[in-house]
Each structure stands twice: as structure tokens, then as C-alpha cells.
Amino acid sequence: MKNSMNIIIATFSLAMIFTACKKDGCTDPVATNYDKKANVENNSCIYGAGGGGGAVITDEIKDDITTNTTIKAGVVKICTDINVSAVLTVEPGVIFIMCAGSSLDIEETGAIKANGTAALPIVFKGETETAGFWEGIAIKSNNPNNQFNYVTVKDAGTYWGWDYANLYIANGAQLTMKNSTVSNSQSVGLFAENSSTIPGFSNNTFSNNGTIGLNINSVHVGSLDGASNYNISNTESYIHVRGVEIGINQTWQKLDTPLLLNATTKVSAGLTLMPGVSILMESGADFSVAASGYLNATGTAVDRITIFGRYTAAAYWDGIKIYSTNPNNKFNYVSIGDAGAYWGFNYATIDVDGRIEMNNTTITNSNSWAVYMRGSSSIYCSGVVQTTPEGVTAVNTLSGNGVGPDADCVDGGCTIYFD
């Protein structure tokens, strides 16, 4: 009986060992995604043209593309700067091997339509897979055929004219980007100029880029989705946002990475912040809500909206100015701190020259007042207009303010001032 039990235990132990050593993956050395650590084939291997020899060059592009062109599945080498002035269609399974200093420039009359699949993605990578090995891809046309779906762009960003980015969208250009990966750039993963547009954006990943995964402007933020991964970068875990005017209604979604706003964002339409949005403000940055606009920041008790300085310091950023009387100017379950640097905002975190509704909101570490109410402006709490600090602080927490060099708090404990 004892020997039988020992045999059973030994058999079980060996089974556990073999199970623990199993690793699913592509075990074919000629496949482009061969995994030398895999020992169990899971039918995930990807090949070049002809069903094998994924590392074998099947074509080379040496000349500019001036007529509509389709590239079939295979391994394509580019060793120069290629200008595309027609429609370039890239079919699933194409792997571009980019030589040092090479680039792909989609000109104003051109377009790139690169739609891969989950099983057959399209890949642009360096001949040597190191950051900054090749220059990158520039999209300069406003053609709606500029589409990336299941596309990987990696190892680029060596050209200063494209902001050292793997993928660059020029002024006036557009790109729809879905299920794609931008990685291993020398500096920026994706750089979008101010007048560019991103009409479609979902399920993308920015990984292991030199400094910044994504550098965009305030309007572009409305295109970003919560399912994408923005948070894998060598040095900075922010989405860099250049401040511009928001002239059309838009909504900012909760993302896995904070937005770092670096200048004034003028809101002349409607801006809605969803629960969980996290914003860091750079020195000198602010929100300025014009008479024609509104700012609706409505979080929840478990998913607050946060707006703080990039660094924790009183008066680090300018603040929020409300010129609008729109009833959609709402702050609910919002935490704000480190503002009040600008004399034009009365050194306050929120300066109101219109109307605002505020509930369950925390304001702290302001240079001077938490909230400054000008003249005939109005503030509502719990649906009722308030005219005293006590009415506002009954449902909001305004504490630890007036701690900056320009504090001018003579009454109310730097909570709210009624002019």
C-alpha cells in the first residue's frame, strides 16, 4: 500500500513539473513571431508571403509612390525616404523592414490605408530593432483613407522635423487609428499637430517610448478612448496636452494615464469631464470658460474628477475662470488643488464672472481664495443660490487655502469671497 501511494505521489509531481514548464506560443523558427521560450504550439505563427520564411525579404520599395498601389502580404524593405502622393493600400500580413534613416511621407495628395487583422497585423519596424533607428511615418494629407487598424509602428523617431516621433500627423491632416501599437520611439510615440484631426481612435497601445507616448492638443483629447493603454513609457507617464481653444462640444473620458495640460485651454463650446478624469496642470496652464461655453465636471463619490498641479505647490498653476452663465457649469465630486498663480483670476483657484453650481467639491492649496465670486455672478449648491460662505462650505470642502505669496484673505478663512 505504501509503495502504491509513493508511485501516485511521484506521478502527480512529474505531471505538475511538466505542466509548469509548458509555455504556449509560436514554436516555428522561420515565423516572424517565433518565441524561443515557447514549447507548446498554439497556432499563432505569422509568416511572410508563401506561408514560410518570415524573415525573407519578398520586395523592396526604392522609388516614390505616385500611382495607386497595393502591397500584398510579405516582407518589404525600405532603405530611403519614400514620398507617397497617391493611395497606398497595405494588405494584412505585410511587414516593413525599415533601414537606418528611412521614412514614409504621406503627402497632401496621398493616403495610406493599412488595415491588418488580429491574426495578420501590419508591422513597420527597424532593420535593427532599437529606438530611433529610422525616421518614422508622417501623415500630411486630409484624406479619410488614412487608416491604421492592427498596425504596429516601432523603432523610429530619429527626425527632429517630426518631433522625434514614430508617427506624426501634420497640420490639416487626419488619421483614424484602431487596435494599433506605437512603441520603442526615440522620444514621442504619436505627435499630432494642432490643426490635425483624429476622427477615429480606439483600443491602441503606446509602449516603451523614449519620453512621451502621446503628444496632442486639447481638442484631440475628445477623441481618446478609455480602452487604450497610454501608460507605458520610459520616463513620463502622462499624455501631453497642448492648450488650444475648444470650439465644438466634446467629452473627455477617463483614461489610464493623467492628462498633462501645458497652457491655456479656452472653452468656447461645451466641455464635459467624465467620472475619473485625472488632469495635471503645468505651470501657467488654466481653463478659461468663455461666455459661449461651459465646463461640466461631474464625478461620483467613488470616481472623483481630479485637477491638480503637476507638482504639489500653492500657486503652481493659474486656475479656472468662468465667464459663462450657462447652467451646465457644474462641479460635483471634484478635487482641485495647487492653483491661484494668476493675478487676473484674483489669485484664486476658481474665479467666477458668471454662474457655477458646486457640490461635493474639494479645493485646497490655493494661492489665495478657493473661489472668488465677482459682482453679480452666482453660485448654486444643492440647487439653491448661495450668498454666504457657510452655504457653500456646507456641501463643499474648501480648506488649506490662502497659503501662497499673494494671499488676500481677510474673512471667511480663504474659502469663498463674494465681491
Task: Look at residues 369, 331, 328 and name the one whose alpha carbon lies nearest to residue 351.
Answer: 369
What is the per-residue pLDDT across 390-400, written as a single tens digit (0 to 9) for each?
999 999 999 99
SS3 assignment for 64-124 = CECCCEEECCEEEEECCEEEECCEEEECCCEEEEECCCCEEEECCCCEEEEECCCCCCEEE
Burial (Cβ within 10 Å: 0-12, 13-18, ≥19) of residue 174: buried
Contacts of 119 (CB under 8 A, 6+ apart): 46, 92
Count CA atoms within 13 Å of residue 131 on its CB side.
Answer: 18
From 287, 220, 277, select the one nearest 253 (Cα to Cα): 277
DSSP classification of residue 388: S
* Average pLDDT value for the chain: 90
Confidence (pLDDT) at 33? 66
Tell me the C-alpha distance between 379 and 365, whole Å: 21
Q: What's the count of helices (H) and strands (E) in the chain, helices before strands? A: 3, 41
Structural Rg of the chain based on CA atoms: 27
How far apart CA 308 and CA 120 sit, in angstroms, is 43
pLDDT of 247: 97
Question: What local confidence, expressed as pLDDT, does residue 14 receive?
Answer: 41
Q: Is the pLDDT of residue 57 over 80?
A: yes
How many alpha carbons lie under 13 Å from residue 374 in its C-beta half-sphere?
A: 15
The C-alpha cell 490639416 sits at: 172
pLDDT, tens only, 231-263:
765 567 899 999 999 999 999 999 999 999 999
The pLDDT of residue 44:
60
Residue 8 confidence (pLDDT) above 50? no
- Higher confidence at residue 1 or residue 177? 177
3-state class (DSSP) for residue 10? helix
Tell me the pTM. Answer: 0.86
* pLDDT tens digits, one per residue of 197-228: 999 999 999 999 988 899 999 999 999 999 99
Q: How far apart are CA 201 and CA 390, in angstroms?
A: 45
Query: Are the CB atoms for 335 and 304 separated by under 8 Å?
Result: yes
Q: With a cut of 80, say whether residue 34 has pLDDT above it.
A: no
Query: Residue 271: what pLDDT?
Result: 98
Per-residue pLDDT tens over the stretch 152-182 = 999 999 999 999 999 999 999 999 999 999 9
User: What distance lies between CA 106 and its chain's CA centroid?
Assistant: 23
Q: Judge residue 229's burial from the number of C-beta atoms within 10 Å of its C-beta, 0-12 exposed, 13-18 middle, 19 or more buried.
A: middle
**Per-residue confidence (pLDDT) for residue 235, from 0 to 100:** 64
For residue 408, name the pLDDT band (cuts at 50, 70, 90): confident
Instruction: Enumerate the β-bridge partners of residue 2.
Output: none
- Residue type present at position 75: V
Q: Which cell goes with 394?
A: 456646507
Does the pLDDT value for residue 85 go beyond 80?
yes
Tally the residues of the chain: 419
Q: Is 16 helix (H, G, I), strand (E, B) or coil?
A: helix
pLDDT at 28: 43
Average pLDDT for 22-49: 57
What does the block give as the cell for 192? 499630432
pLDDT tens for each residue of 300-313:
999 999 999 999 99
Cell 512529474, located at residue? 14
CA distance 274 to 164: 32
Q: What's the grid cell of residue 310?
A: 503637476
Which has the closest alpha carbon to 239: 219, 223, 221?
221
Domain ranges of the chain: 1-45, 52-418
